[in-house]
Structure 1
Amino acid sequence: MHGPAQAGWLLVTLCAATGAYCLLRMRSRIEEQRRTAGGEALMGFAMALMAVPAAVVSPPRWVWLAYAAVFGAAALRSLWSARTGRHHLHHLIGAFAMVYMSLAMTMTPMAHAGHGSSGAPVLTGVFLVYFAVYVLRSGARLAPARTAAAPAGPSVPLGWADRPELALACRLSMGMGMLAMLLTL
């Protein structure tokens, strides 16, 4: 994506680290964690590659078309999975946003470099609003809340890949990354 190089490298680091953690989450004992971790790892690594500053490498047009094809397939998978759970809709919207950004990069690459951009299209605004709300909600869910005393009895210790707050932090960081990428579009 186009924008300041330092911000681009920070975004690359954030997204790559998130993708790596999501790969490790695929070893979770919790089935739902394993099921969503692969798609989230794909999203994290793809966002990292897409965020490499344009001054370092400016991929040819076919790379952006390949991104669009991969995330189009991911969107279809998310659409199929959405039949069983509402949380898959977020993955669907994220995949559509990646398709949208990839196609935008193929159509007017100079406009994205800051040369003659005529304003943000409506779809960019819709994605920005969605991901802003998603980030705020996810951040609020991570904030500590007062809870009742822990129930008596033995509890099963969770492994580091099974921690729901780490999965939520992973999703939060990808949502922030998506916001940053959409802002540079």
Structure 2
Amino acid sequence: MHGPVSAAWLLVALCAATGAYCVLRMRSGVEEQRRSAGGEALMGFGMAVMAVPAAVFAPPRWAWPVYAAVFGAAALRALWAARAAPHHLHHLVGASAMVYMSVAVAVAPPGPHHAHGGTGVPLLTGALLVYFAGYVLLAGARLVPAAATVAGAGGGSARWGDRPELARACRLSMGIGMVAMLLTM
């Protein structure tokens, strides 16, 4: 990914922190929380690695197909999980977007600035941008009432891994990160 270096580092920090919190959520006593948290941790750390500025670390060309394979496996897992729980379809879209970005970087000619070959935004990139922008707006709207309810109820008794408002905030931050990464494509 390319873009302003300071924005890239902020994206790295946001995604890494989100991935770290998702690792904490994997210790939840709720099985569905643990399953979701594992995929979300992979997404958070994967996005953090992909967002590192190329001036600092440029992965070798063979790394991008490896990223695509890892996220392809995550997409298949999300597809399988979506049979029982439809909310995993979002994980499927996220993992598929990571595959798309990995493949786009892998097939792009080497150089500091490579475009998609045209002057406009490719259709798939545009569709993913619309999806994730909508997801961010929806997740943000869902987060506000949850925070007000927890604050009004006195909250604080739930373990860190079981706090639904923090899980929603993580998903919101990853959605924002995905929009930022897609904008740099």
TM-score scaled to structure 1, two decimals?
Answer: 0.90
Aligned to 1:90: 90
Could you tell me whether the CA contact under 8 Å between 1:124 and 1:182 is conserved in 2?
A: yes
1:79 paired with 2:79, answer yes
- Segments of 5+ residues of structure 2 without an aligned counterpart are none
1:53 paired with 2:53, answer yes
Aligned residues: 180
Q: Name the stretch that deviates more: 96-105 or 155-164.
A: 155-164
Whole-angstrom distance in 1 between the partners of 2:4 and 2:167? 29
Could you tell me whether the CA contact under 8 Å between 1:112 and 1:184 is conserved in 2?
A: no
Q: Kindly, what percent of the aligned residue pairs are identical?
A: 68
In terms of Rg, which structure is larger? Answer: 1
Which letter does structure 2 place at the counterpart of 1:82?
A
Q: CA RMSD in A?
A: 2.2
Aligned to 2:26: 26
Residues 112 and 40 (structure 1 numbering): CA distance in 2 closer, same or farther, change over 3 Å? farther
Q: Deviations over 1:142-168 (max 9, x none)?
A: 113787xx99xxx99311210000000
Residues 112 and 133 (structure 1 numbering): CA distance in 2 closer, same or farther, change over 3 Å? farther
Aligned to 2:142: 141
Which letter does structure 2 place at the counterpart of 1:135?
V
Runs of 4 or more off by more than 4 Å in structure 1?
A: 109-112, 114-117
Which letter does structure 2 place at the counterpart of 1:20?
A
Which letter does structure 1 place at the counterpart of 2:43?
M
* Greater fraction of residues in helix: 2
Aligned to 2:9: 9
Could you tell me whether the CA contact under 8 Å between 2:74 and 2:95 is conserved in 1?
A: yes
Q: Deviations over 1:90-132 (max 9, x none)?
A: 0000010000000000111458825685231100000000000
SS at match of 2:157: coil
Whole-angstrom distance in 2 between the partners of 1:60 and 1:156? 45
Aligned to 1:102: 102
- Segments of 5+ residues of structure 1 without an aligned counterpart are none
Residues 24 and 156 (structure 1 numbering): CA distance in 2 closer, same or farther, change over 3 Å? closer
Offset, 1:42 = 0.5
